[in-house]
Chain A
Amino acid sequence: MTSSMPLWITIGYIAIAMVIGLVARGGRRMSSLEEWGVAGRSMGPVTLYLLIAAGSVSAYTFMGAPGWAFAKGVPVLYVVIYLGYLALVAWYFGPKVWAFGARFGHVTQASAIADRYQSPALGALAALVMSIGSIAYAVLQTIGSAYILLVMSGGAIPVWAGVLLVLSAIAIYLYVSGQRAIGKTNVFQGVLMIVVAWIIGLWSAHTATGEWSFSAVFTLVLERNPDFLVLPGGGGDMSFAFWTTSIIVSMLSFMPPVWTQWMSGTSARTIRLSATLLPTYYLVILPMIVVGFIGIYSLPGLARADTVVLEYAMAHLPAVLVGLLGAGTLAASMSSSEPFIHSVALSWSKDVLQPWFKISDARAGHLARWLIFPLMALIIAPLAIAEPGNLVMILLIGLGFASQVLPAFIGMFFWPRATAWGVMAGILSGFVVTVLLITIWPHPLGIHGGFWGLMVNLPVFLVVSRLTRPASAEVVERFFRIAAPWYQHSTVDAEKVVVRAES
């Protein structure tokens, strides 16, 4: 590929995203956490739909997923299923989280946890544990962004420069417009991604088979590599156990940016509408998976599976489509990394530094905006330039960590008797097990390390909660009036029962 058109289209995308992100501010003051953090809870159903959709469709869709299809086949479909389940999670929990935020003033997930358990220490712990997964995710997306620029420029923009360029663009509009920038840019990125994915998918199928459908591609796979059409797949490593536990762990990972997105809606009804339609957006993954299958025969010697779509496009598609693919892939990675960077900065400021140094809300809001710069410069950029490990494994580790905060949500939505000590003990034990069973003894018996973590985490949480004192009845009532309003008519007061039992 010698044309410079793909690079200019990709750079043009960054310029447009920058303008949209900067204009999103619309003259509003961004000094409060409410405005910078959750856009003044102003997002309607269409914006919220594309905000959540584009946020969850990452570089994985354009690189990792086709790479898995290329290297393993159908095991990649676990992503399609868990994304559908995340929509169910949004439908049930989103309206309640929104109501918590609107009534109690929460702007982050960890601040809701701290409030529910009356424990700033627990809020800080949840914020820090979640930020490991969030940072891993942001690093993953930044690596994807830099790689796109490297390829589109024919090597003229090295990885380090690509990382700096993309992070600088995000930093500027995030600082200026906060969550409003994420909302507006995700609308643009969401539309761009689905259009580009389907054009590239259909064009690739036509180039490879002469048909404008995918059936000839799969007929060929069935003839030559039928093992790619069933689990455990071509690599032989996606057992039923790993498929199932990966889906469960991913579904139970309440990532902080999603929580912030829910809080940004105009109403609880808006969130339910957006969640109901959300699965339709994930048709975006299908054509990219197909290109991965095409690559099995078109690019048999490909060294890096993640690059299958890019390599196929550069070898077989017109320059304008290669440029659109570059822009679409960059859109996917940026639309996912910016909410994670935003939420980590927001949560470190609100949930870690504010209670630690006893600073005011206004100062915490100011601090959150500035924190994005050291976060990007000192953590995300160096890690992205070092390019650690396999993209998908980083994602799985991140989600594995995030899933360990599950007890906090059980106590918020389902179990009034949960206590701060129970949640903390559960998170810490699950976290240790997950670290060991993802990094040192990976996924014993083919079961996801994060699932093993939950197997330890949940019993510890239940037992320790039973043995310790819950938050005050007033706090529990306040939360469950929203979380389960139909569940209040008992005259039994949980705390009174416990207090009497203890005395």
Chain B
Amino acid sequence: MRPTFVRPTSWRGWLVLMGFVSVILAGIWPVIGWVNQAVLVAGMPKLLVWSYVVLLSCSLVMWLGNLLIGERGDD
């Protein structure tokens, strides 16, 4: 057993990790600062629309994860 931190070892694992990190970064500063405007998008506040985009993107990256590595149970 290696005493270092666990990391993905395949391109699939790295892709899913990048998806997870991207969606997490999308919901916090500095990205949240870029969408922080008093503007309505489709009749809703931009920050509200963005929050739900981030939320549903979570489902999307997990679905991607299921396709790439979910069934294999590794990475």
Q: Quick one: which of B51, B56, B65 contacts A77, CB cutoff 8 A? A: B51
- Structural contact, A416 and B2, CB atoms closer than 8 A: yes
Q: With a CB–CB cut-off of 8 A, which chain A residues contact B8?
A: 486
B11 adjacent to chain A (CB < 8 Å):
no
Q: Quick one: which of B6, B55, B65 contacts A80, CB cutoff 8 A? A: B55
A197 to chain B, nearest CB (A): 15
Interface string of B33-74 (1 = CB under 8 A from A): 100111110111111100110111111011101100011011
User: In this complex, what residue of A is CB-closest to B16?
Assistant: A92
Q: Quick one: which of B40, B48, B73 contacts A95, CB cutoff 8 A? A: B73
Q: Quick one: which of B54, B70, B75 contacts A84, CB cutoff 8 A? A: B54
Report how far A490 CA is from B74 CA in the complex, Å.
Answer: 16
A42 adjacent to chain B (CB < 8 Å):
no
Q: Quick one: which of A275, A487, A492 contacts B6, CB cutoff 8 A? A: A487
- Structural contact, B1 and A229, CB atoms closer than 8 A: no
Report how far A289 CA is from B49 CA in the complex, Å.
Answer: 13
- Structural contact, A414 and B1, CB atoms closer than 8 A: no
Number of A-B residue pairs having CB atoms within 8 Å of each other in the complex: 157
Report how far A372 CA is from B6 CA in the complex, Å.
Answer: 39
Report how far A247 CA is from B51 CA in the complex, Å.
Answer: 12
A191 adjacent to chain B (CB < 8 Å):
no
A213 adjacent to chain B (CB < 8 Å):
yes
Q: Quick one: which of A92, A218, A241, A276 contacts B44, CB cutoff 8 A? A: A218
Q: With a CB–CB cut-off of 8 A, which chain B residues contact A473?
A: 1
- Structural contact, A485 and B1, CB atoms closer than 8 A: no
Prevailing SS type, chain A contact patch: helix
User: In this complex, what residue of B is CB-closest to A69?
Assistant: B48
Interface string of A71-93 (1 = CB under 8 A from B): 00010010011011101100110
Report how far A494 CA is from B5 CA in the complex, Å.
Answer: 12
Q: With A214-B44, A244-B32 in contact, do A494 and B1 touch (Cβ < 8 Å)?
A: yes
- Structural contact, B73 and A485, CB atoms closer than 8 A: yes
Interface string of B1-41 (1 = CB under 8 A from A): 11111111110010000001001100111101100111110
- Structural contact, B65 and A231, CB atoms closer than 8 A: no
Q: With A230-B37, A243-B32 in contact, do A213 and B43 touch (Cβ < 8 Å)?
A: yes
Report how far A87 CA is from B1 CA in the complex, Å.
Answer: 29
**Interface hit among A314-322, A383-391, A475-483:** A475-483
Interface string of A248-276 (1 = CB under 8 A from B): 10010000000000000000110011011
Greatest chain B CB density within 10 A among A81, A273, A493, A494 is at A81
B35 to chain A, nearest CB (A): 9
Q: With a CB–CB cut-off of 8 A, which chain A residues contact B61?
A: 88
Report how far A276 CA is from B23 CA in the complex, Å.
Answer: 14
User: In this complex, what residue of B is CB-closest to A497?
Assistant: B3
Q: With a CB–CB cut-off of 8 A, which chain A residues contact B40?
A: 215, 218-219, 222
Report how far A286 CA is from B53 CA in the complex, Å.
Answer: 13
A116 adjacent to chain B (CB < 8 Å):
no
Q: With a CB–CB cut-off of 8 A, which chain B residues contact A483?
A: 6
A488 adjacent to chain B (CB < 8 Å):
yes
Report how far A231 CA is from B38 CA in the complex, Å.
Answer: 9
Greatest chain B CB density within 10 A among A222, A227, A279, A417 is at A279
- Structural contact, B9 and A487, CB atoms closer than 8 A: yes
Interface string of A434-469 (1 = CB under 8 A from B): 000000000000000000000000000000000000
B17 to chain A, nearest CB (A): 10
Q: With a CB–CB cut-off of 8 A, which chain B residues contact A92?
A: 20
Q: With a CB–CB cut-off of 8 A, which chain A residues contact B28?
A: 81, 243-244, 247-248
User: In this complex, what residue of B is CB-closest to A477?
Assistant: B1
- Structural contact, B2 and A490, CB atoms closer than 8 A: yes
B32 to chain A, nearest CB (A): 6
Q: With a CB–CB cut-off of 8 A, which chain A residues contact B32?
A: 231, 240, 243-244
- Structural contact, B59 and A276, CB atoms closer than 8 A: yes
- Structural contact, A231 and B47, CB atoms closer than 8 A: yes
- Structural contact, A74 and B45, CB atoms closer than 8 A: yes
A379 adjacent to chain B (CB < 8 Å):
no
Sample (20) of A-B pairs whose CB atoms are under 8 Å apart: A74-B45, A83-B55, A91-B65, A92-B20, A218-B45, A221-B45, A222-B40, A230-B36, A230-B37, A268-B73, A273-B66, A276-B66, A416-B3, A417-B4, A484-B6, A486-B9, A486-B10, A488-B1, A490-B1, A494-B3
When A and B form their complex, which 7 residue pairs have the shortest distance between CB atoms, in order from nearest?
Answer: A215-B43, A494-B3, A84-B58, A226-B38, A84-B55, A81-B27, A240-B29
Q: Chain B: residues with CB nearer than 8 A to chain A?
A: 1-10, 13, 20, 23-24, 27-30, 32-33, 36-40, 42-48, 51-52, 54-59, 61-63, 65-66, 70-71, 73-75
Q: A276-B63, A414-B6 are in contact. List 19 more A-B contacts (CB 8 A).
A: A74-B48, A77-B47, A81-B51, A84-B56, A84-B58, A88-B62, A215-B42, A218-B40, A231-B33, A243-B28, A243-B32, A244-B29, A275-B62, A276-B66, A279-B55, A415-B4, A485-B74, A487-B7, A490-B1
